Structure 1
């Protein structure tokens, strides 16, 4: 039986509520009392829980860390994990990032793809189950997190207060079934000698995205200034402006998610490499000199001895996501996605070894351990059946460098949807984030079928 089609009558309500949710700029900000991820994240969570209540569903807010909506009866839970926080909009949008705008079958807006669209679909899947009067073996629960984009403790805090499910999935990746997620290691590089020529260097908004812009102000001679401009040549990605503080150099790149840094162009790395061709180590300072020698524009960690790969999950990737130098600050943030058979401790030790000769400290700020759920498990078979009921063929299983809530299920779940692998890479943390509406509602059918199967089988 194909139950997934029951979601299609709710198209208009889904798009209406998605518009409301996208309009909330729910970027995680400084905690305030009762709102651990800031006011806008809490507002987005409260908004979607209010929507659920209006649909007649049971809801709960766990301290504005996360909340849930539930349908069905039974002593067990099956979960769908979504999030309502988003990354910053960034520059270069052709539409207002916090308004849904439809053009040529695409719906633009920050969060449409990651992850508000999937969250609203999962909510209406509960509504479809309720309206159809489906009798369940277990309760189906949709969880909405408030701090996923900052690798926070939102779901940890939720599950400390609420029961763990027997299984679950997160629609925050792509189809088929992601049963392997690389480890995620985030490192801060700090300290060393301050630069003598670079007044400031700034790049990146979040560590888990390839920086699309970078800027430096350099105090240099006329000869050095001319050399920098000459080396830039006709590359329109660079701009030069003479200011009272020095030569201001801007660089533009292409944003991408840190799980696939090869899909972007790192503006910080571009600017570093330009400066390193003219300025010496003292003029650059310890941190920028290290980055220009040991990171460069590579994304495989080869220059610090980190290059590695395994059969289940593929190669290690390294993203230089943040650089802040100037006014007493010297810091760079790295986001490393490592194979499921590797160990974060080993990677940290190698990076510390590489940093030591430059007088830099390397500290681990966050780590998410790898996920690996065998393909022959009962739950993988269930999801394969759900997908096949809608699509007519079984999905493949695959590995990702992305980090999803599936890790929080501790071997009970995977990432599943909402995107299809042949869709253009216009999603996730990119400028002009959007969804293909025809594919979006195909996902909605698969999602409902999977939720129906989890609740009844």
Structure 2
């Protein structure tokens, strides 16, 4: 904003050895028409970028008419039933192995006819979102060499001014873009939902054989005795705020934390002192080598 950008920089905001690319990010909301049918409440999730492990909907129906289903619990509440889904949480950038609780509730509502026509059209749109973390249900699935497949999750669902709002978080490779994804999603959901608050950040990738990346990875391997290679990821770091940058450590896969220590960005964040000193050595040598490169 106030000074020229550096010709190259790295941020200690991830893991070693060196991350030379980050997927693009696309976020948006799927919003329902005004609800005046059977669904009185729908809530779940704590963050847009996390797969929720619990969600619930309050519907106006008789509990004796409902069937049991895996990972679903039913509770009488007022004049209706609280339908709860129980899944398995995880981060939006790495959704493999997760179970989205919102998707469980959506499927239960559809399977048991707990919706009017407008609600059904909206739930069918949500079903396409939750059908696959690869985006196949919405027709946005794609993959490339550096990053692999696109991922997408529905993170939060809540009521806003009488409408149901479902957030989505996608990490996408270089074979698509935010504008293309918007059009594909609109085509997939039809009139059942409106796509709102769509925004994106483009992916970035620096080839592994460029001098700057080689300086970082070679220094890391010399200090640690490893034979590691650069990696890409779906997460985001401060590197994407600069025109030519990467994330470079300091976490390492073999870090062993004390019992009181928490993970990066978590409560009681901690790191072993020997690994921090090793990282410092890597950074000093890498900076000296980067100084010798003619950018």
TM-score, scaled to structure 2:
0.84
> Unpaired segments of 5 or more residues in structure 1?
1-159
- Residue of 160, 185, 188 corresponding to 1:351: 185
Name the counterpart of 2:124. 289
3-state SS of paired residue (1:448): helix
- Residue of 141, 155, 158 corresponding to 1:324: 158
Asked if the contact 1:194/1:286 (under 8 Å) is kept, the reply is no
Give CA deviations for 1:324-381 in whole Å, capped at 9, x if unaligned. 13651321111111112322211111001122232x2213433111011111222112
- Residue of 172, 179, 184 corresponding to 2:20: 179
Asked if the contact 2:10/2:239 (under 8 Å) is kept, the reply is yes
What is the rounded CA distance, in whole Å, between the counterparts of 1:327 and 1:219 in structure 2? 19
Give CA deviations for 1:387-440 in whole Å, capped at 9, x if unaligned. 123211242112211122111121x2112223335779x9568xx8787844x7
What is the rounded CA distance, in whole Å, between the counterparts of 1:317 and 1:323 in structure 2? 18
What is the rounded CA distance, in whole Å, between the counterparts of 2:264 and 2:106 in structure 1? 26
Asked if the contact 2:42/2:164 (under 8 Å) is kept, the reply is no
Distance 1:166 1:326, change over 3 A: closer
What is the rounded CA distance, in whole Å, between the counterparts of 2:83 and 2:267 in structure 1? 28
> Unpaired segments of 5 or more residues in structure 2?
257-261, 290-295
Asked if the contact 1:287/1:331 (under 8 Å) is kept, the reply is no
3-state SS of paired residue (2:81): strand
1:375 aligned onto 2:217: no
- Residue of 107, 121, 129 corresponding to 1:273: 107
Name the counterpart of 1:247. 81
What is the rounded CA distance, in whole Å, between the counterparts of 1:189 and 1:219 in structure 2? 23
What is the rounded CA distance, in whole Å, between the counterparts of 1:409 and 1:326 in structure 2? 36
Asked if the contact 1:201/1:326 (under 8 Å) is kept, the reply is no
Asked if the contact 1:309/1:339 (under 8 Å) is kept, the reply is yes
- Residue of 217, 221, 232 corresponding to 1:384: 217
1:308 aligned onto 2:142: yes
Runs of 4+ more than 4 Å apart = 421-424, 426-429, 432-438
Distance 1:323 1:399, change over 3 A: same
Asked if the contact 1:218/1:247 (under 8 Å) is kept, the reply is yes
How many pairs are equivalent?
283
3-state SS of paired residue (2:5): coil
Choose between structure 1 and 2: higher helix proportion: 1
What is the rounded CA distance, in whole Å, between the counterparts of 1:423 and 1:319 in structure 2? 29
Give CA deviations for 1:261-299 in whole Å, capped at 9, x if unaligned. 12422111122222221025517454333212x123421
What is the rounded CA distance, in whole Å, between the counterparts of 2:18 and 2:287 in structure 1? 19
Q: Which has the higher contact order (CA 8 A, sep 6+)?
A: 2
TM-score, scaled to structure 1:
0.56
3-state SS of paired residue (2:191): helix
Name the counterpart of 1:397. 230
- Residue of 188, 193, 196 corresponding to 1:363: 196
1:256 aligned onto 2:90: yes
RMSD over aligned CA atoms reads 2.7
Distance 1:441 1:291, change over 3 A: farther
Deviation at 1:163, TM superposition (A): 4.2
Deviation at 1:245, TM superposition (A): 4.2
1:169 aligned onto 2:2: no
Name the counterpart of 2:293. none
Name the counterpart of 2:277. 445
Asked if the contact 1:180/1:340 (under 8 Å) is kept, the reply is no
Give CA deviations for 1:8-40 in whole Å, capped at 9, x if unaligned. xxxxxxxxxxxxxxxxxxxxxxxxxxxxxxxxx
Name the counterpart of 1:199. 40
